[in-house]
Structure 1
């Protein structure tokens, strides 16, 4: 017996059936799926439970941490500064953040930071757990950090430091705190129920996140987890320094911080809405995120090949992942699709050719490096339905 709630266009009934079937996994807890095609929402579904005791049902307005699905919002926020003429893509980041110009980082550009080419995927000095929630401590540590490789020479994903690499310049260029900026200039104009730093009144809507047990992912995931076991290595530092990164997800400190690389909290509907507008070149029906020229630059390949942090092949534009042709590296739609997965399974992306905006969120974290098989299966089925209608 399925407990799927919400709306579906009958043309996409098989997607709804697949979503319901995923809930029959005995470890499944809760999740939501929203898909837009052109100007309309064709799927807006949710199911399961939000709490660790499996007592509380997932509601229409349940929120959940979507981890790195937050990164493209931070990238758009910075690109809005470019659009406003406050900084250029190829300007040194130090123009906005003078303290950054030390330890060999004088020439690192905004473009390099956005495309994970800055060599700043991790902080090498061990920081205390509470440092993660002190904005200035993290910004100061990054400003002092030496790049792990020659900036521009290679790429390596910055899972957490990205928040300050983008957020500190954003703060200085806009005069606003990053979470407040994203709320005012991205979420509110688009009507997104999404926060980087959840207000007190909304905390009770957040689903409790837990991990799938006895699941080990693919070969890339195993390689990454092995690298995270080496305390002096970049992989360990990128995901585990400060150590609170790994254990804070369900805490109020995490939910209310402004870690725009990892702690965005929202729902499938808000992700699909963001990507619906991006699928249409950054503007749709009076909602404007970004000039279409900058959206085009975002989609250009800036990094490709073996990722120094993830130890898997990755392709990046500016603040977004691009499609790849290996299982788990692509979005399950057309080759022009782009977006961003989040740790544990959430996924937000668009396919401009198909006019699709896609959002999937879950509170049951899987172990994959890039795309989660649950989200991918749903995306592929959406695409199959679209092709049938052509």
Structure 2
């Protein structure tokens, strides 16, 4: 169904006019309500556009300062925290997690490495016991349960998307080393000094800037119903324990919590600037944030395989690096197979392509049904790479 194109504001270099056109078509043809996109090349914003409405009632315009929950696009920020510690010699990716978090050695996990945590290969894609939203909001309860949990598969033998647990697992390692939760560490070390508009959770005083998430309005087809009926226990643990959605993410409790895999709040500009640290091989805002070697480490592939949680959804093998996903032969992040990034459930994404000195951030409030590879993302990336 087509709809009217709302007023689009911001700037777009003439060379990237096709990106503006694709952004506008996302409103007209692909259901966007409110959204923003930023494209940075060689550290400069060549596209910075926003438009639409920040609420379902379409009473509140989306502005340059509107932030929104970006779901798993948050994982790029959490991975960055770990890589900062690797860069400083405080964290060894090949060391056992238990060297930093002794309780983690329970239930046969004494040999699980930090590398396996970063690459979704630790076998801890979800809790084995029922886990409520209230427990998810309780850092100590969630991390204690994960420390005691037996892996779903032999760690290191395969990849299975750690949808919510990733942030608690990597985040607790960060906390054990620094004494800070990842949100505070990120703010102190990166986003605060560089003025990047990206937070894990949302400070109470910023609530007026937050867009209202709108859940996907889709009917379940018989094919989808059959797929859901075939979900394995590990898939259910990863994706539905607990069930989370737009209504939850709009609450004060969600925004106040520390969920470093899923409750980052950002502008598109903030996403592009944060992922731009990787695209700039560790440099951003005239500063060296990571050494080139560590910035390269984040995309060190850990082996292509059919993901044990998302495999049926993708329909093809995927490959994780140390915290982000590689574009690979299927072009998840454009034509460069060594580009990398992360999608957020419903449509948001961040991309880094060091070879093109390119980073992209896209955020929106109307969620689509896709965990990754939303059609709006594909349209924007086709236009971006077509202009390079």
Q: Which residue does the alignment assign to 1:283?
A: 283
Q: Measured at CA, do residues 22 and 340 of structure 1 come closer, stay the same or move farther in structure 2, by a change above 3 Å?
A: same
The 1:13/1:26 distance shift into structure 2, 3 A limit, reads closer
- 2:136 matches 1:132: yes
Q: Give the match's secondary structure for 1:192.
A: coil
- Partner residue of 2:119? 115
Q: Does 1:195 align with 2:199?
A: yes
Alignment match, 2:240: 240
Q: CA deviation at 1:25?
A: 3.6
**Residue of structure 2 equivalent to 1:40:** 44
1:94 corresponds to 2:111: no
Kept after mapping to 1: 8 A contact 2:213/2:247:
no
Q: Which moved more, 1:1-10 or 1:97-106?
A: 1-10
Note the alpha carbon deviations across 1:39-80, whole angstroms, 9 max, x for none.
Answer: 311000001111121111101100001111111211110121
Within-5 A mapping of 1:54-65 = 54-65=58-69
Q: Which moved more, 1:258-267 or 1:187-196?
A: 187-196
Distance 1:225 1:325, change over 3 A: farther
1:311-330 correspondence runs (5 A): 311=311, 312=314, 313-326=317-330, 330=332
- Residue of structure 2 in register with 1:355 after alignment: 357
Q: Does the CA contact (< 8 Å) of 1:224 and 1:235 recur in 2?
A: no
Equivalent-residue separation in structure 2 for 1:293 and 1:216 (angstroms):
46
Does residue 1:78 correspond to 2:56, yes or no?
no
Deviation at 1:180, TM superposition (A): 0.7
List gaps (5 residues or longer) in structure 2: none
Please tell me whether the aligned partners of residues 190 and 273 of structure 1 are also in contact (alpha carbons under 8 angstroms): no
Change (3 A) 1:381 1:243: closer
Distance 2:148 2:229 in 1: 28
2:345 is the counterpart of 1:343: yes
**When the two structures are superposed, what TM-score results if normalisation uses the length of structure 2?**
0.93
1:324, distance to aligned residue in structure 2 (A): 2.8
Structure 1: state its 5+ residue gaps. none
- The alignment partner of 2:154 has SS state of coil
Q: Count matched residues.
A: 380
Separation in 1, partners of 2:30, 2:122: 42
| d(CA) in 2 for partners of 1:350, 1:152 | 26
Report if aligned partners of 1:190, 1:274 keep a CA contact under 8 Å in 2.
no
Q: Give the ranges of 4+ consecutive aligned residues of structure 1 lying more than 4 Å apart after TM superposition.
A: 221-228, 244-247
Q: Could you tell me how far apart the structure 1 residues matched to 2:332 and 2:183 are?
A: 29
Look up the match of 1:307. Answer: 307
What is the DSSP-based 3-state SS (H/G/I as helix, E as strand, rest coil) of the residue aligned with 1:6? Answer: strand
Further displaced range: 107-116 or 237-246:
237-246
Q: Secondary structure at the match of 2:356?
A: coil
Change (3 A) 1:379 1:78: same
With normalisation by structure 1, the TM-score equals: 0.92
CA distance in 1, matches of 2:85, 2:236: 33
Task: Indicate whether 1:372 and 2:377 are aligned.
Answer: no
Give 3-state SS (helix, strand or coil) of 1:50's partner: coil
